[in-house]
Amino acid sequence: MSETQRVLVLWDIDRTLLYVGDIDRQVYRETFAEVVGRPAEQLPARGTGVTMPLAIRSLLLDNGVPELEVPELLPRMVELLPRRLAAHAQDLREQGVLMPGAVPALKAVHAQANLVPTVVTGNLRPNALLKLEAFHLDGFLDTEIGGYSSDDAHRPALVAVAQKRAQAKHGAAFARSNTVIIGDSLEDVRTGLAGGAPVIGIASGKTTSSQLASAGAEVVLDSLEDVSQLLSVITAVTVNHE
């Protein structure tokens, strides 16, 4: 990697940078009840990294909504979900927690002139921004060029979305050789493998180091706490794929 080559760093949000506990599930619960008119018996699994539109689809089907009704109800829930999360903004600040090392890691990546930090996330864009802003993390990320599930429910497609936005803004081409994903879940690894980016796995969520490595993460770190190690790994995985 040359000194001037830009590298697009795609951060996952939930359980990589921050954790909001059961707030997301509460928002799903409220949104389902408002749109469907009855309580949800089953809620989406925690920590999977699945995009919100796919999680909503499963939520509807798992709670007995006929498949023929899903195309009508799903977009209504997608539209309502950010408003419901916004109503919990205070809860995000009070109940949410930063993952160990998240702020120093974000600051260090942001400070590198050749690194372009943004997000690739299963969150809808408004939900992602609400979470980042609640923890004052948005200043370390260019959220305008990120990839969100409001762009595409198929998470691997979000790598190309972010690459195209970054290219339009910076006038530099971004491909597998100069893009990296940092995330905690198997879905983050699948996003990189299918979307075309090496993945640095962070064993801070529900997925173990060995599971992340077996799934295909290029490198796995226990946490974000060793900032110099993280920067070295970002360089290593982009050098190796030139």
Contact yes or no for 162/143 (Cβ under 8 A): no
**pLDDT tens, 202-237?**
999 899 999 999 999 999 999 999 999 999 999 999
DSSP 120: B
Tell me what pLDDT residue 4 has.
62
Domain co-membership, 90 together with 126: no
Q: How confident is the model at residue 241 (pLDDT cuts 50, 70, 90)?
A: low
**pLDDT tens, 18-29?**
999 999 999 999
Annotate 212-241 with b (16+ C-beta within 10 A) or e (fewer).
beebebbbbbebbeeeeebbebbbbbbeeb
Q: How confident is the model at residue 45 (pLDDT cuts 50, 70, 90)?
A: confident
Domain assignment present for residue 2? The answer is no
Among 71, 94, 117, identify where a domain stops: 94
Write the CATH number for 221: 3.40.50.1000
User: Which residues span the domain enclosing 74?
Assistant: 23-94
pTM of the shown model:
0.95
CA 183: distance to chain centroid? 7
Q: How confident is the model at residue 239 (pLDDT cuts 50, 70, 90)?
A: confident
Domain co-membership, 110 together with 211: yes
pLDDT at 5 over 90: no
Q: Pick left, alpha or beta for residue 66 (phi over 0 → left; psi -120 to 50 → alpha; otherwise beta).
A: beta
Contact yes or no for 28/40 (Cβ under 8 A): yes
Domain co-membership, 166 together with 114: yes
Among 63, 78, 94, identify where a domain stops: 94
Domain co-membership, 108 together with 76: no
Domain co-membership, 174 together with 196: yes
Domain co-membership, 31 together with 125: no
Domain co-membership, 12 together with 31: no
Domain co-membership, 119 together with 42: no
